[in-house]
């Protein structure tokens, strides 16, 4: 199968492209800077315009400017929307022009779709939230959903906090925890719905191969934890203390709205559909996932 990937040079995308090639697929990555990423994506064709993509059987759309890289303002929020909704719209518009269309679109989303919630478990049928992140995800999924009218099978993937040493949230946390100055954020009771990068990539390939899979899927491990539980587990795996607490007011001062949306609130998200339809997680609990990353 010839798979077109957006966001292929990112933390998730690099692992996905490697797994796709290992499974025998040919891979093309759409990138703004093909030459810059060629060395990190061996065996992958890189292009900077959709008109260069030919004979595509499937599209996996992971493009999106990271939300957790600093304070939000109106300009950055527009960048977030353009990099997700704008890219997805461009993909659907491009597919509309093709005489032979791809068979499937797997498009990223995030658990921010549900908005800030308490500890109530949320499956794919839960209502969306109303804050900025929730609206962003809802509009992103709606744009991808337009490909259904073109005859494509469409699956949207609500991705949780991705665990891997080479990037994402864990890479930012490792240094302070290794130095013994890690610990909970705020009161530590906010829910963290996480997934190992390995399981996320496996889930994306499962959705690619499973011709019955369509609609929304939660990409989270079956056992979410609180931020305090996460801190204690990471410290135990690293054999370090986790005594430091970052006060909520300090996070709000540093990061503003982003702190409220991503650091001090959360969702307890359950991968109900994936498990019901036969996907088997390799890392169901946080301790096993973190221990695997230490090897």
225: which strand partners?
192
Tens of pLDDT, residues 208-220: 999 999 999 999 9
What are the structure tokens assigned to 236, written together?
């135990």
Angle at 239 between CA 237 and CA 244, to 5 degrees: 100
Domains by residue range for the chain, with CATH: 2-293 (3.40.50.720)
Tens of pLDDT, residues 115-154: 998 899 999 999 999 999 999 999 999 999 999 999 999 9
Tens of pLDDT, residues 68-102: 888 999 999 999 999 999 999 999 999 999 999 99
What's the whole-model pTM score?
Answer: 0.95
Give the Cα separation of 126 and 40 in Å (integer): 38
Provide the pLDDT for residue 216.
Answer: 98
| pLDDT over threshold 80, residue 294 | no
Tens of pLDDT, residues 196-244: 999 999 999 999 999 999 999 999 999 999 999 999 999 999 998 888 8
Pairing of the two strands 268-269 and 121-122: parallel
Residue with tokens 């934890």: 225
Give the number of other Cβ atoms within 10 Å of residue 264's Cβ. 21
């Amino acid at each position: 199968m010839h798979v077109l990937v957006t966001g292929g040079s990112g933390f998730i995308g690099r692992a996905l492209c490697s797994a796709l090639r290992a499974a025998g697929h040919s891979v093309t990555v759409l990138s703004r800077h093909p030459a810059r990423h060629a060395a990190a994506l061996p065996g992958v064709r890189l292009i900077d315009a959709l008109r260069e993509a030919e004979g595509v059987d499937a599209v996996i759309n992971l493009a999106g400017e990271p939300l957790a890289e600093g304070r939000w303002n109106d300009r950055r929020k527009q960048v977030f929307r353009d990099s997700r909704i704008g890219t997805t719209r461009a993909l659907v518009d491009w597919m509309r022009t093709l005489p032979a269309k791809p068979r499937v679109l797997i498009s990223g989303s995030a658990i921010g779709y549900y908005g800030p919630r308490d500890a109530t478990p949320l499956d794919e049928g839960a209502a969306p939230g109303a804050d900025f992140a929730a609206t962003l995800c809802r509009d992103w999924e709606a744009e991808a959903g337009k490909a259904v009218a073109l005859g494509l099978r469409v699956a949207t993937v609500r991705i949780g906090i991705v665990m891997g040493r080479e990037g994402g949230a864990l890479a930012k946390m490792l240094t302070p925890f290794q130095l013994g100055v890690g610990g909970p954020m705020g009161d530590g009771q906010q829910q963290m719905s996480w997934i190992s990068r390995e399981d996320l990539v496996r889930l994306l390939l499962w959705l690619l191969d499973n011709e019955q899979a369509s609609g929304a899927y939660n990409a989270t491990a079956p056992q979410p934890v609180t931020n305090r539980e996460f801190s204690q587990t990471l410290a135990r795996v690293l054999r370090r203390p986790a005594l430091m607490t970052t006060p909520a007011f300090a996070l709000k001062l540093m990061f503003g709205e982003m702190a409220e949306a991503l650091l001090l609130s959360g969702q307890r998200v359950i991968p109900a559909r994936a498990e019901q339809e036969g996907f088997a997680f390799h890392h169901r609990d946080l301790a096993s996932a973190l221990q695997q990353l230490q090897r």
